[in-house]
Amino acid sequence: MIDFIAIKSINKDRYKIIAISEFEVKRCEREVEKFMQKRRPPAHIRNKLDLGYRIDNQSVELFEIRPESRNPDKKMEIPFAKATYVKSQKHWKIYWQRQDLKWHSYAPTPEVKLCEDFLAIVSEDAHACFFG
């Protein structure tokens, strides 16, 4: 098993070293794509509201994509959920972004074993922290 892999960031031209196995990254990407297929809004409104994600270092971040209010031609990303893999403990820590724009631990379930579990918690949103 690979301990560290290099991936090219979506928004940058440099490579980063991450502490997730290549297998884990691919599995997580596959699961996030399934999540996106279920949760994305209909195609006809995606220019007004869409969902996106990024995998950066050992974190998976989910965000809304909306036009800026002052410049509708420009898009902005509004993060709402994040999971960070802690290799030493072999689990994912779950975070949500509050109005203060800081990441806070998701107290009902602060950690899970699998990326899929994180996505299930976000999808369920039992405490209205992720989708309001």
Dihedral sign computed on CA atoms, order 72, 82, 121, 6:
positive
pTM for this model (two decimals): 0.83
- Do 85 and 20 contact (CB within 8 A), yes or no? yes
In this model, does residue 21 exceed pLDDT 50? Answer: yes
Model pLDDT for residues 49-104, shown as the tens digit of each residue: 999 999 998 999 999 999 999 999 999 999 999 999 999 999 999 999 999 999 99
- Do 35 and 26 contact (CB within 8 A), yes or no? no
- Do 104 and 82 contact (CB within 8 A), yes or no? no
The domain locations on the chain are: 21-124
- The DSSP result for 49-61, as a single string, is SEEEEEEETTEEE
Q: What is the structure's pLDDT at 13?
A: 47
Residue 13 to residues 6, 7, 62, 96, Cα–Cα distance (Å): 12, 10, 21, 28
Query: 96 pairs with which residues across the strands?
Result: 81, 104
In this model, does residue 36 exceed pLDDT 80? Answer: yes
In this model, does residue 27 exceed pLDDT 50? Answer: yes
**Separate counts of helices (H) and strands (E) for the chain:** 2, 8
Model pLDDT for residues 99-130, shown as the tens digit of each residue: 999 999 999 999 999 999 999 999 999 999 99
Q: What is the structure's pLDDT at 19?
A: 65
